[in-house]
Amino acid sequence: MATSDFKPSPFLEPGAAASIGSLAILHLKRDQLIPVVLQSTADDGYAEGAVTNTRFGSFPHSTLKDVPWGTQVRASKVDTGSRGRGGAKRKIDDTEPKEAIQAGTGFVHLLPPTPESWTISLPHRTQVVYTPDASYILQRLQVRPGQTIIEAGAGSGS
């Protein structure tokens, strides 16, 4: 890989504002964060291009790009009618997304990714490890009597 192809981690150098192709965290409320990779267009049929839908509204990625981190972004009214199965499909050459119209309610805060916000935004699932599974794990790790083992957990306490 050439040095010009090197892209720094978004956790270390997020830049001053969100940009297309960058990882962003949408902060909905204290315990609800959504990780999003901003895209210019998407194939999900929205006239506005790529859109992230939340319980607080719809957020076209065009309204999130070039916005400084920490900014409160208002929800937009999204044209969902063009997504119907019976409607005419957009033409191939019609790739320019429509302008988003701001909605009356709903907002998110656009945050840069940090290790903490990334961990919180991922889904947490528990994992039960039964005795036969634990035995297999110990055998694969080549654990012997007298060795110290530190278990970090695979459950919901991330």
Rounded distance between C-alpha atoms, residue 48 and residue 32, angstroms: 25
Tell me what pLDDT residue 36 has.
93
Instruction: Give every residue of the chain whose pLDDT is below 50, as ranges.
Output: 86-87, 158
Please tell me the number of Cα atoms within 13 Å of 96 on its side-chain side: 1
For the stretch 110-147, what's the b/e string if a residue is b when 16 or more beta carbons lie within 10 angstroms of its beta carbon? bbbbeeebeebbeeeeeeeeeeeeeeeeeeeeeeeeee
Residues 6+ apart with CB under 8 A from 27: 33, 108, 109, 110, 111, 117
Record: fold of 3-123: Vcp-like ATPase; Chain A, domain 2 (3.10.330)
Q: Give the E-state strand segments of the chain in sequence order.
A: 23-29, 32-37, 51-54, 57-60, 72-77, 101-111
Q: Where are the domains of the chain?
A: 3-123
